[in-house]
């Protein structure tokens, strides 16, 4: 039985616990803040609260689900207790930590998995296949995610959550970074970014609505619209090819191929719920523990983190910013 230690017992940590338990793992939680609200589980788990507990247990995997601003500090502190780490997205909260993360992983030969679970969704994989087979015929893309963050955790004061607090790594760019990762996944490396802040009707200390332009190395342009204070919930990906258009609607659950105003067809039969991709992701992680760290995988992971941080830098400086 594999032993999994989860850092943080919020909604995401509990979700991972349920999935890993379903796959027959023994679950441990490590928390430093005991007075915070935690979510109940209907199976046995063990709570630990000292580093000595890590020495006593030989964990197969450590899952880092605490606030983003604590991710790298946690990884650095626990890297001597296992080689396998799964860090929820985004992995870090600034460019300095991106560089430090890469050095640490290489130096200690860690196996690092990131929490971009949409890469494991069957419909995303279908779209990825279409894109890969027509990459030279793509003109541009549009990725949009509008959600309403105050409704994410009913009963909680959303302004006190890490998503709304700057010092904890909040803000829509980091919190809703799946679309940034997907743009990189679909269309390859990015050479420069431009990020603009949009108006918001909520008084938050972090950005809550942005437009991002990614200029990919291969010439494809991705436009990303992220908004987590919108009551008009919507989420889709549009890719414009020379002779047709593909739209994956993640809310209405279809992939549409549009050739002209009068000619279009649905090219998906069995839509997979987004939440099912969490199980696909966690199963993949369990199957790939203790593998040799892939330089290509690490490079891809680090590149996504760089794009996120350069988007923040572009927003701060209000100008086009090169991804180094």
Query: Is residue 90's pLDDT more than 60?
Result: yes
**Per-residue pLDDT, 267:** 79
Q: pLDDT tens-digit profile of 91-139?
A: 999 999 999 999 999 999 999 999 999 999 999 999 999 999 999 999 9
Q: pLDDT tens-digit profile of 254-313?
A: 888 888 878 888 877 667 888 899 999 999 999 999 877 667 689 999 999 999 999 999
Estimate the crossing angle of helix 95-108 against helix 295-317, to 10 degrees. 170
Angle, alpha carbons 167-170-175 (nearest 5°): 155
Distances (CA, A) of 84 to 10, 59, 134, 191, 240: 21, 9, 36, 30, 39
**Per-residue pLDDT, 214:** 98
Sign of the CA dihedral 146, 150, 154, 156? positive
Angle, alpha carbons 147-19-175 (nearest 5°): 25
Q: pLDDT tens-digit profile of 179-198?
A: 999 999 999 999 999 999 99
Q: How far apart are CA 189 and CA 181, in angstroms?
A: 10
212 within 8 A of 311, measured Cβ to Cβ? yes
Query: Is residue 34's pLDDT more than 70?
Result: no
pTM of the model: 0.94
């Amino acid at each position: 039985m594999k032993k999994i230690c989860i850092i943080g017992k919020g909604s995401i940590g509990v979700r991972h616990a349920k999935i890993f338990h379903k796959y027959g793992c023994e679950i441990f939680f490590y928390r430093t803040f005991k007075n915070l609200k935690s979510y109940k589980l209907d199976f046995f788990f063990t709570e630990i609260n000292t580093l000595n507990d890590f020495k006593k247990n030989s964990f197969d995997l450590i899952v880092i689900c605490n606030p983003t601003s604590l991710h790298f500090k946690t990884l650095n502190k626990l890297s001597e207790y296992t080689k396998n780490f799964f860090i929820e997205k985004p992995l870090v909260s600034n460019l300095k930590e991106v560089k430090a993360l890469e050095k640490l992983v290489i130096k200690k030969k860690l196996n690092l998995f990131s929490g971009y679970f949409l890469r494991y969704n069957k419909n995303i994989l279908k779209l990825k296949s279409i894109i890969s087979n027509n990459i030279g015929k793509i003109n541009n893309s549009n990725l949009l995610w509008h959600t309403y963050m105050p409704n994410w955790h009913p009963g909680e004061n959303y302004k006190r959550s890490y998503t709304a607090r700057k010092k904890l790594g909040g803000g829509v760019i980091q919190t809703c970074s799946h679309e940034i990762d997907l743009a990189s996944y679909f269309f390859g490396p990015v050479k420069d970014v431009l990020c603009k802040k949009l108006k918001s009707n909520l008084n938050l200390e972090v950005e809550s609505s942005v437009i991002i332009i990614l200029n990919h190395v291969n010439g494809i342009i991705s436009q990303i619209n992220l908004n987590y204070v919108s009551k008009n919930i919507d989420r889709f990906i549009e890719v414009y090819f020379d002779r047709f258009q593909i739209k994956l609607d993640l809310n209405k659950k279809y992939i549409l191929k549009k050739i002209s105003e009068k000619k279009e067809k649905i090219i998906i039969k069995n839509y997979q719920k987004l939440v099912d991709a969490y199980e696909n992701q966690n199963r993949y992680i369990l199957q790939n523990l203790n593998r040799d760290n892939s330089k290509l995988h690490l490079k891809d992971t680090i590149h996504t983190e760089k794009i996120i941080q350069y988007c923040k830098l572009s927003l701060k400086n209000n100008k086009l910013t090169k991804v180094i």
